[in-house]
Amino acid sequence: MVEVTVRFASYLQETIGVSEEGWRMPTGSDVYELLDELITYYGKQLEEIIYDEDGKQRPTLRIILNGWDIRFLSDEKLVLGNGDIVLILPGLAGG
């Protein structure tokens, strides 16, 4: 098992009621498996923030693993390790 810290930024903190939480995942799990676990735990509301209707990550959402946007990491870099920090940063719009 690995222990990671998940941080929820912006309005996600109010939406799900927590700003940071520790998670234990099986060794070898990747960021996407963690997202699945988070959605199972927090429900459809979180799923709709992370994924669009086609099941793709919303383009305005950023998922940061140890300071790196996961869109720019290779698959082997997405595997979680002990002490990793995952930041979920939803996009904001304004005018």
Q: What is the pTM of this model?
A: 0.89
Query: Does residue 54 lie in a domain region?
Result: yes
Is the confidence at residue 95, as pLDDT, over 60?
A: no
Is the confidence at residue 27, as pLDDT, over 90?
A: yes
Is the confidence at residue 22, as pLDDT, over 60?
A: yes
Q: What is the DSSP pairing of strand 68-69 with strand 20-25?
A: unpaired
- Structural domain boundaries, residue 55: 2-89
Query: Does residue 94 lie in a domain region?
Result: no
How far is CA 23 from its chain centroid? 11
Query: Does residue 81 lie in a domain region?
Result: yes
Query: Does residue 61 lie in a domain region?
Result: yes
Query: Does residue 82 lie in a domain region?
Result: yes
Amino acid 10: pLDDT: 83
Query: Does residue 95 lie in a domain region?
Result: no
Higher per-residue confidence, 25 vs 12: 25
Terminal alpha carbon distance of the chain: 44
Contacts of 69 (CB under 8 A, 6+ apart): 62, 63
Using only C-alpha atoms, the chain has a radius of gyration, in whole angstroms, of 13
Q: How many domains does the chain have?
A: 1
CATH code where residue 59 lies:
3.10.20.30
Query: Does residue 39 lie in a domain region?
Result: yes
